[in-house]
Amino acid sequence: MEAVAYGRMPLSHASLSTMAAHKLRGTIRLGAYRGSTSGLASDRLQANLIILPRAVAGDFLRFCKRNPKPLPLVGVSRTGEPAIDSLGTMDLRTDVPRYDVYRFGVLDEQRSNILSLWREDFAAFAVGSSLSFERGLAKRGIPMPYPEAGASAPIFRTTIKTASVGPFGGTMCVSMRPVRRTDVTKVRAITARYPQAHGAPIHIGNPEVIGIRDLAEPDWGTPVELGADEVPVFWASGATASVALQGARLELCITHSPGHMLITDVDGRSDVGAFKIF
């Protein structure tokens, strides 16, 4: 179990699990926690973070709207402002545990903050994450199978095409969780109550149907094994944005690292209200 120093108090994933969302963001801002956000602030919406130049922000906004299942848009910043006020008091340059920095479509580096990279022409997008419904499943007797605290669901690229807009396109990514056959109907109903966190699954059963050859080799996240009475259940994933950004080959764009989400103050099951663009 990961532990980090915070003053004189060691912080573990377990000790953070009951901390309020705004305090978690403050802890991350201070550099006191850099692990997965899975299982943290369980009643709050977690979000994928995508930061890119304003010149392509309009196209990316339309890309999200044309692909709402993998990219349920929950907030957009004003140009140059490292915050999305509708999601809570935050600093988008520091409040994610780990950032991925892409240059010309290639993952170039990972950072604990992006203060020195921030530009006045940046626009930030928040896309709901399926980590938001995991606690809801656990409360109803469907625990997550991750072997270590702070691990996150395996994520796979599929052959399902997204609707392209401008430079953005490619294929959909999905997260997978093994579910007992007798629980599949319950799981579908529970996750459908989280529309801003991808909602109900998009596929159940044979992974080869959606282009996944080996469940033991995810593109991101932690591999998990299927039990004898379990089937793989797949939800659309915000990692779809990373695939689109790689294909767009922008000079510079930034995302959260998979599993290291932006924790918001928004209720995990709520429809987020209207937001002001730029």
Q: What is the CATH number of the domain that holds 66?
A: 3.40.1640.10
Please report the pLDDT score of residue 106 as a whole number. Answer: 96
DSSP letter for each residue of 141-187 = T-----SSTT----EEEEEEEPPPBTTB--EEEEEEEEEEGGGHHHH
Residues 228 and 246 in one domain: no
Cβ 248 vs Cβ 56: under 8 Å: yes
Residues 246 and 232 in one domain: no
Residues 48 and 171 in one domain: no
For 242-255, the pLDDT digits (tens) are 999 999 999 999 99
Residue 155 β-bridge partners: 175, 220
Please report the pLDDT score of residue 222 as a whole number. Answer: 86
Please report the pLDDT score of residue 41 as a whole number. Answer: 86
Residue 95 β-bridge partners: none
Round to the nearest angstrom and report the end-to-end CA distance of the chain: 40
Residue linked to tokens 């395996």: 154
Which 3 state secondary structure label does DSSP give 274?
A: coil
Cβ 253 vs Cβ 38: under 8 Å: no
- Cα separation, 102 vs 52, in Å, equals 10
Q: Is residue 253 part of a domain?
A: yes
User: Residue ranges of the chain with pLDDT lower than 50?
Assistant: 1-8, 10, 272-278
- Cα separation, 235 vs 132, in Å, equals 12
Residue 52 β-bridge partners: 123
Torsion-angle region of 221 (φ positive above 0: left; ψ -120 to 50: alpha; else: beta): left
Please report the pLDDT score of residue 149 as a whole number. Answer: 59
State both tokens at 221: 């996240």
DSSP letter for each residue of 189-238 = HHHTT-GGGT-S-SEES-GGGGT---TTS-SBS---PPPTTEEEEEEEET
pTM, whole model, 2 decimals? Answer: 0.88
Please report the pLDDT score of residue 8 as a whole number. Answer: 41
Residues 190 and 217 in one domain: yes
Please report the pLDDT score of residue 11 as a whole number. Answer: 65
Residues 120 and 175 in one domain: no
Please report the pLDDT score of residue 3 as a whole number. Answer: 39
- Cα separation, 199 vs 70, in Å, equals 10
**Domains of the chain: total:** 2
Residues 22 and 94 in one domain: yes
For 168-221, the pLDDT digits (tens) are 999 999 999 999 999 999 999 999 999 899 999 999 999 999 999 999 999 998
Residues 52 and 10 in one domain: yes
Which 3 state secondary structure label does DSSP give 29?
A: helix
Residues 112 and 160 in one domain: no
Q: Is residue 144 part of a domain?
A: no
Q: Is residue 119 part of a domain?
A: yes
Please report the pLDDT score of residue 277 as a whole number. Answer: 44
The CATH number for 173's domain is 3.30.2040.10
Whole domain around residue 166: which residue ranges?
Answer: 151-240
Residues 157 and 24 in one domain: no
- Cα separation, 99 vs 50, in Å, equals 10
Please report the pLDDT score of residue 147 as a whole number. Answer: 52
**Planar angle of CA 25, 18, 227, nearest 5 degrees:** 105
Please report the pLDDT score of residue 269 as a whole number. Answer: 65
